[in-house]
Amino acid sequence: QVQLVESGGGSVQAGDSLRLSCVASGRTFSSYPMGWFRQAPGKEREFVAAISWNAITTYYAESVKGRFTISRDNAKNTVYLQMNSLKPQDTAVYYCAARESPTDSPGTYFIREYEYHYWGQGTQVTVSS
């Protein structure tokens, strides 16, 4: 089992930056591929970014590629989402997620909501123009 807690959200203007953090507790966090998703009001949850458990492989949604960076520090049980050049369209509740599967290869990542097993409570990001 693992528990995930996001933080770092807030209200900013377009063009500003935020860094979200997700702190995990539980066993074998360092072996979990991690992801960030977001959900805007009235919309379904969508994929944002993913990182493999060895932190070598990352993948981003086209809408955030070049602006967002996902990283992890397994020693601190933390995954980050650095968000630069924020746009009003980025306004959403952001969730971190962890996948647990012993058969996953070290460099794999996952982009679908149903591929993840553990979820945080979310942190609000609001970007005004």
- Cα separation, 16 vs 91, in Å, equals 12
pLDDT tier at 30, thresholds 50, 70, 90: low
**Token pair 């060895």: residue:** 54
* Share of residues in the chain with pLDDT > 70 (%): 97
Whole-number pLDDT of residue 29: 63
Whole-number pLDDT of residue 100: 87
Whole-number pLDDT of residue 126: 98
Whole-number pLDDT of residue 99: 92
Backbone angles phi, psi at 112, to 5 degrees: -105, 140
Note the pLDDT tens digit of each residue in 33-64: 999 999 999 999 999 999 998 888 999 999 99
- Cα separation, 118 vs 49, in Å, equals 16
**Token pair 């942190």: residue:** 123
Note the pLDDT tens digit of each residue in 65-122: 999 999 999 888 899 999 999 999 999 999 999 998 878 888 899 999 999 999 999 9
Classify 88 as helix, strand or coil: helix
Beta bridge pairs of residue 96: 36
The first and second tokens of residue 114, run together, are: 């149903």
Closest CA to 87 of 16, 8, 14: 14
Backbone angles phi, psi at 14, to 5 degrees: -55, 135
